[in-house]
Amino acid sequence: MQSPDLRRDAPAYHRNIGPITEVLSTILPTVPGDAMEIGSGSGQHIVSFGRTFEKLTWWPTEFAQENISSIDAWRINERSTKVQPAVRLDASLDDWQLGAHGRPPTKLDAIFTANVIHISPWTVCSGIVGGSSRHLKSGGHLIFYGPFFRDDHPTAPSNLAFDQSLRSRDPEWGIRQLSAIVDLAVAQGFNKPSIVEMPANNLIVAFEKAK
């Protein structure tokens, strides 16, 4: 649903913003810093984060132009001083052009992404890990939210059906194997993650860049 002022309303936001915020409050720094969201979607999450975690400056990014318009509409409606204008980012690329005028700084305290890596090719997931390794400060956090397959846990039938649906739409999409992401992240300088089970068979997976 989209209002005339370009603000999109994402139903998932209303379901998950409370649980996500509760977990992020145990992870994010409580001192001034910079946090970037990859795939900010409608913009509702990052505007809420700017309100709740006000010590941080929040940098929204998106691949799709229509989402950039929605993010900025929500930011303007909120009159937020903690959320910066949205910029386009192809996370699969090696060069995110951080530090350029109007773009996030080259060194960040946290990078958050929700419900992105299962609706994009694996190159986006690997790009997020690689780019985060380059741009997070030591002790900074890379935080994923969404569904995952776990080797040591039974898979919910709803996630199996969702994965099949995704792959029928695009063979490069699909729920990712958590162990593959962990291996990739550890190889690029992250500690093994903390994992929090979330409603509706989702997880928050938080990696800390090794100090």
pLDDT band, residue 5 (cuts 50/70/90): confident
Give the predicted TM-score (pTM) of the model.
0.96
CA distance 199 to 137: 30
pLDDT of residue 195: 98
| Residue 1 placed within a domain | no
Nearest to 118 by CA among 79, 68, 191, 172: 172
Phi first, then psi: give them for residue 198, nearest 5 degrees. Answer: -120, 170
pLDDT of residue 207: 99
pLDDT of residue 4: 56
| Residue 183 placed within a domain | yes
| Residue 26 placed within a domain | yes
| Residue 113 placed within a domain | yes
| Residue 139 placed within a domain | yes
pLDDT of residue 136: 99
| Residue 2 placed within a domain | no
Residue 143, pLDDT above cutoff 80: yes
CB neighbour burial string for 64-80, b if at least 16 within 10 angstroms, e if fewer: eeebbbbbbbbbeebeb
CA distance 210 to 133: 10
Q: Which residues contact 132 (CB under 8 A, 6 or more apart)?
A: 111, 142, 207, 209
What are the tokens at 102?
């109007």
Sign, CA torsion 97/98/99/103: positive
**Among 24-28, 76-80, 86-90, 105-109, which is the least confidently predicted range?**
76-80
CA distance 114 to 57: 18
Sole residue written with tokens 């509702």: 44
List pLDDT tens digits, range 144-167: 999 999 998 889 999 999 999 999
CA distance 62 to 70: 10
Give me the CATH number covering residue 97. Answer: 3.40.50.150
List the domain range (segments joined by +) for residue 44. Answer: 11-208
Q: Residue range 189-208: average pLDDT?
A: 98
pLDDT band, residue 29 (cuts 50/70/90): very high
The whole-chain average pLDDT of the chain stands at 96
| Residue 180 placed within a domain | yes
| Residue 3 placed within a domain | no
Strand, helix or coil at 15?
helix
Split into its structural domains, the chain has a count of 1
